[in-house]
Amino acid sequence: MSSILTWIWAFSGLLLILLVLLHSPKGDGMGGIAASGSSMFTSASSAEASLNKATWTVLITFLLLAVILSAGWI
């Protein structure tokens, strides 16, 4: 059981990296903070919203499995 969870944890980590890299850049980095803030608060498109949900789901899965595996509960 522990080895199956370890494989799921590793796969979710790789998937999380991929999902984060798929996100579009939001601004100009630190220089964008001093610029006009109107572009910072635009709504996300449908694809971006779906990508955000998938990223949060994989992140929660990754963190929960990290806690479970490190605590030795299984």
Decide: residue 48, CB within 10 A, 0-12 exposed, 13-18 middle, 19+ buried.
middle
- What gap in Å lies between CA 51 and CA 46, rounded to an integer? 9
Q: What pLDDT sits at residue 39?
A: 55
For the chain, the domains span 1-21+45-74
Q: pTM of this prediction?
A: 0.74
CA 35, distance to chain mean position in Å, is 27
- Per-residue pLDDT band for 65 (boundaries 50, 70, 90) equals very high
Conformation bin of residue 37: beta by default, left when phi > 0, alpha when psi is -120 to 50 = alpha
pLDDT tens profile 31-43: 666 655 555 555 6
Percent of the chain at pLDDT above 90? 57
* For residue 12, pLDDT beyond 70: yes
